[in-house]
A and B are shown apart, each in its own frame.
Chain A
Amino acid sequence: MVSQYGIKLAAYLISSSYGDFCSKVCECLLSRGTLTLAQIIRFTELSRENVINCLRVLIHQNCVQAFSIQQEVAFGEAPKIVTQYMVLFDNTIHKMRFPKFMQIVSEELGKDCLGIFEGLLQHGRLSLNQIIDRNMQTPDNSDVHAVQESFSRLLNACFVERCPAPEPFLAPPEEETPAKKRGTKSAKIAEAPKTIEQRALETAAPMESIRFLMEIDTLSGASEEKGMESHNIATLEEKWKQDFSDAELSSSGKKKEILWRVNFEEFVRRLRHKACIEYVRIRLSDQAGIVLSAILELTRSSETRLKTDKSASMSINDIYDEVIKKDGGLGMDLERVRASLVQLGCQIPTTGIDETYSIDLKNIIELAQNEEVESVVLKRYGREAYRIFRLLTKSGRLLETDKISDTTFVEKKDTLKILYKLWKDGYLHMEKVSVNGPKQALFLLWEVNKESLWVCVLDEMHHAALNLRLRITYEQDQEKEILQLPTEKLVGELEKRYKRLRKVRIILESSLMNLDDALMLFHDF
């Protein structure tokens, strides 16, 4: 479930771009979970027409995914198929970080690809023909082949992907064959059961083999998607007619052209790598940053899931060959590369036969997260609290008050005060232990409960991000007359106010982008 301020931030971002009705529908789905059309209408108290329009916009902008399931009915009745709508929280928050995605595309692929990419960000989904048409309308338009070439480069870099199925059908879990069940029994015990939303996303996703492939064209988007059986299509179309009239049907369901959208997963992966490299560069050395950058460049395409714990193993020679291509890497020799690998936590193998290395990315992310929270503790509670919090984070277990006081060199009476304050604000977990003996003694034990604390910290970050956005809007509102004046009239006091507004916007917007790095550190990486 998304936390309170995560919901508020998402609702605000949708409202800024698509209006209050869409924001209301989005907030409803975030607060209440996956719902049917009827339920959304009931909870939002909007008209049926408004809700349908909002869902169309949100689906088109990749913030909502529809899917259908078989509803349980009484014995003897024909099976009823119901459409449900789930919100995609991550994609909603990504709207805040479009400038970062654009910078990656601009740096790697250049201006032409950036133009196409911007269109996809703005419109949510486009077919190749729509991309070409859009390009024709720009002043410095390129010919069709050039546009196709740029689009192809975006696909090869996995920055763009085929859109998912508009409304996949989820077969009921009981329909699995007995043989299949037996074979996967042990695997099932190890894995947590998938939620209906996870199943919907998996079923909707295009197969990996065609996800970034431009050549294959399909007659109907529905028939090629995995998990769809032909007899369900008729049922589905019947279902759509119940929910949407012919005129209202989502364009992605009817059109025969393939629709493309931004592949957010790839950008999150790039930003994750960038965060690890930056952390290592600041904490260890520039050279360690270069070596890590080289390894991640080599292993990126082999990452099967986003939050990979360790990078794939690479040989020292492959790493070296990539390092010397990087800025500042040409002067590094094998020994310096090895020294950087050791700084990154690797061990030099004793035999020289199979010298391969893999980097623990999860550890780097955790260290960065710890530092972020420690920074907040230092600012809010002071240096002694910072020492105490770091001790408890490092030890990872319950410690008694006196032990904490002794190790951190904080006066015993002050230690207890600080611990209570941190506990009251949710940073620490406390346990009381009473010992029966000649004298009854009560001991207080303390530890950092990372799981619950990280959730609180993330919610506060969402809150802070929303605050920054609201303050930007407020500052602009305050000076809206000045923004409407032509430049030549901005003199004297007006010029001073204009300059102040510009400075304030830079501070707030750059702080928001920095805070977003921390947000991603806790939510996406």
Chain B
Amino acid sequence: MSRTLETSSLKRKRPEADPLGLVDNERAILNAIKSKKDLGIWVRDIKQETKLTDHVVNKSLKSLLTRKLIKEVVNIQNKGKKHYMAVEFEPSKEVSGGVWYVDGNLDKELVNILKQLCLRCIRVQKVATLERVYEDLKKQRVVNFEISSQQVSEILNSMVLDNEIIEVKSTGLSEYYSIPIGTVCYRFDSGPGVARGSKIGAFASIPCGACPRISLCTPDGIISPSTCVYYTKWLNIDF
């Protein structure tokens, strides 16, 4: 009897003994992946940690994927390298790029939709604080995730950088009467010159301002004001 038991203990553990039914290699690899939690792990790092051969690792990963114990994730820092994560974890911001990234690419459509909604809110209210815009967006329930005030602030800031809206501090007077003095708010740039489209700088309005060859241009050179094709095109436009 004991010999049979001894013999059986020397044998490889039967798969049914592991709670998930994994063999040793698969368990070792799964543990390595789980240990990285929401950061994920690169295939080569798995091989280094577990000291298993390429063939064994690849086979085990395939098995774990089929059993839906792990998933493949795109690491925004290294899109070309295959990374794996245990299914119970969501990729951290460092890996995924944050809520604005999908499969390692910027979700431009999402960003544009939110920008348009923010602009509509500001258009209606004339002057809006971050809180008002955030409340407005939450009410509309356009996105299927819980949008945070921080995320709305990021969208508004990027529009300020694009000069689509301006950031001002409430003076408490006129259109700011309902906003406490000193509170940051957002509005469209309402200067008279803006409406007339006079925002382009004087230097940028002439060919030299936009010219990529200005450092090569000389009075008598091959590229010169008298031979410049950009000037010729510009002067032939019907003003």
Contact, CB under 8 Å: A285 / B191: yes
Residue B23 lies at the interface, judged by CB distance under 8 Å to chain A: no
Contact, CB under 8 Å: B225 / A411: no
- What are the interface flags for B187-201 relative to A under an 8 Å C-beta threshold, 1 for contact and 0 otherwise? 001111110001111
Cβ distance B112 to chain A, nearest Cβ, rounded Å:
10
Chain B residues 201 to 234 lying within 8 A of chain A, measured CB to CB, are 201-206, 208-212, 214, 217, 219, 224-226, 228, 231, 234
Partner of A471, one of B76, B192, B226: B226
Contact, CB under 8 Å: B158 / A407: yes
Contact, CB under 8 Å: B235 / A409: no
Cβ distance B31 to chain A, nearest Cβ, rounded Å:
19
Contact, CB under 8 Å: A285 / B203: no
Set of chain B residues within 8 Å of A376, measured between Cβ atoms: 201, 203-204, 209-210
- What are the interface flags for B160-175 relative to A under an 8 Å C-beta threshold, 1 for contact and 0 otherwise? 0111000000010110
Contact, CB under 8 Å: A467 / B202: no
Partner of A517, one of B161, B191, B202, B231: B202
Contact, CB under 8 Å: B219 / A466: yes
Cβ distance B214 to chain A, nearest Cβ, rounded Å:
6
Residue B105 lies at the interface, judged by CB distance under 8 Å to chain A: yes
Chain A residues 450 to 464 lying within 8 A of chain B, measured CB to CB, are 457, 460-461, 463-464
Cβ distance B49 to chain A, nearest Cβ, rounded Å:
13
Cα-based distance from A126 to B64 in the complex (angstroms): 96
Set of chain A residues within 8 Å of B76, measured between Cβ atoms: 412
Set of chain B residues within 8 Å of A284, measured between Cβ atoms: 191
Partner of B235, one of A374, A394, A507: A507
Assuming A339-B173, A470-B226, is B158 touching A375 (CB within 8 A)? Answer: no
Residue B98 lies at the interface, judged by CB distance under 8 Å to chain A: yes
Residue A194 lies at the interface, judged by CB distance under 8 Å to chain B: no
Chain B residues 39 to 96 lying within 8 A of chain A, measured CB to CB, are 76
Contact, CB under 8 Å: B193 / A411: no
How big is chain B's contact interface, by range? 35 or more
Cα-based distance from A373 to B198 in the complex (angstroms): 15
Cα-based distance from A275 to B219 in the complex (angstroms): 30
Residue A56 lies at the interface, judged by CB distance under 8 Å to chain B: no
Contact, CB under 8 Å: A514 / B202: yes
Contact, CB under 8 Å: A375 / B203: yes
Contact, CB under 8 Å: A282 / B203: no
Cα-based distance from A407 to B161 in the complex (angstroms): 9
Which residue in chain A gives the minimum CB-CB distance to B210?
Answer: A379
Contact, CB under 8 Å: B100 / A372: no
Contact, CB under 8 Å: B161 / A511: no
Chain A residues 466 to 525 lying within 8 A of chain B, measured CB to CB, are 466-468, 470-471, 474-475, 503-504, 507-508, 511, 514-515, 517-518
Cβ distance A97 to chain B, nearest Cβ, rounded Å:
14
Residue A286 lies at the interface, judged by CB distance under 8 Å to chain B: yes
Residue B106 lies at the interface, judged by CB distance under 8 Å to chain A: yes
What does DSSP make chain A's interface, helix, strand, loop or mixed?
helix
Q: Tell me which of A102-110, A169-177, A215-223, A383-391 binds B.
A: A383-391
Contact, CB under 8 Å: A281 / B209: no
Set of chain A residues within 8 Å of B163, measured between Cβ atoms: 390
Contact, CB under 8 Å: B202 / A515: yes
Cα-based distance from A312 to B113 in the complex (angstroms): 48
Cβ distance A309 to chain B, nearest Cβ, rounded Å:
22
Cβ distance B154 to chain A, nearest Cβ, rounded Å:
7
Residue A380 lies at the interface, judged by CB distance under 8 Å to chain B: yes
Residue B157 lies at the interface, judged by CB distance under 8 Å to chain A: yes
Contact, CB under 8 Å: A409 / B214: no
Assuming A281-B192, A285-B191, A466-B219, is B97 touching A372 (CB within 8 A)? Answer: no
Set of chain A residues within 8 Å of B235, measured between Cβ atoms: 475, 504, 507-508
Contact, CB under 8 Å: B214 / A463: yes
Cβ distance B212 to chain A, nearest Cβ, rounded Å:
7
Set of chain A residues within 8 Å of B162, measured between Cβ atoms: 383, 386-387
Cα-based distance from A504 to B238 in the complex (angstroms): 10
Set of chain A residues within 8 Å of B199, measured between Cβ atoms: 371, 375
Assuming A283-B191, A379-B210, A466-B219, is B203 touching A408 (CB within 8 A)? Answer: no
Assuming A379-B204, A511-B206, is B225 touching A342 (CB within 8 A)? Answer: no
- What are the interface flags for A392-421 relative to B under an 8 Å C-beta threshold, 1 for contact and 0 otherwise? 001000000000001111111000000000
Residue A8 lies at the interface, judged by CB distance under 8 Å to chain B: yes
Set of chain B residues within 8 Å of A386, measured between Cβ atoms: 162
Assuming A283-B193, A460-B203, is B225 touching A474 (CB within 8 A)? Answer: yes
Contact, CB under 8 Å: A467 / B208: yes
Contact, CB under 8 Å: B174 / A372: no
Set of chain B residues within 8 Å of A410, measured between Cβ atoms: 106
Residue A378 lies at the interface, judged by CB distance under 8 Å to chain B: yes
Partner of B158, one of A281, A408, A463: A408
Residue B239 lies at the interface, judged by CB distance under 8 Å to chain A: yes
Residue B184 lies at the interface, judged by CB distance under 8 Å to chain A: no
Cα-based distance from A379 to B97 in the complex (angstroms): 29
Cβ distance B127 to chain A, nearest Cβ, rounded Å:
13
Set of chain B residues within 8 Å of A463, measured between Cβ atoms: 208, 214, 217
Cβ distance A501 to chain B, nearest Cβ, rounded Å:
10
Partner of B203, one of A391, A471, A518: A518
Assuming A380-B210, A463-B217, A464-B206, is B192 touching A375 (CB within 8 A)? Answer: no
Cβ distance A503 to chain B, nearest Cβ, rounded Å:
7
Set of chain B residues within 8 Å of A378, measured between Cβ atoms: 204
Partner of B193, one of A282, A373, A380: A282
- A sample of 19 inter-chain contacts (CB < 8 A) reads A8-B219, A281-B191, A339-B173, A342-B173, A372-B203, A376-B201, A379-B200, A383-B162, A390-B163, A406-B98, A407-B157, A408-B158, A409-B111, A409-B158, A467-B208, A471-B228, A471-B231, A474-B226, A504-B235
11 new A-B contacts at CB < 8 Å, known A283-B193, A379-B209, A461-B203 = A8-B219, A281-B191, A285-B192, A376-B203, A383-B162, A407-B154, A409-B154, A409-B158, A464-B206, A467-B231, A471-B231
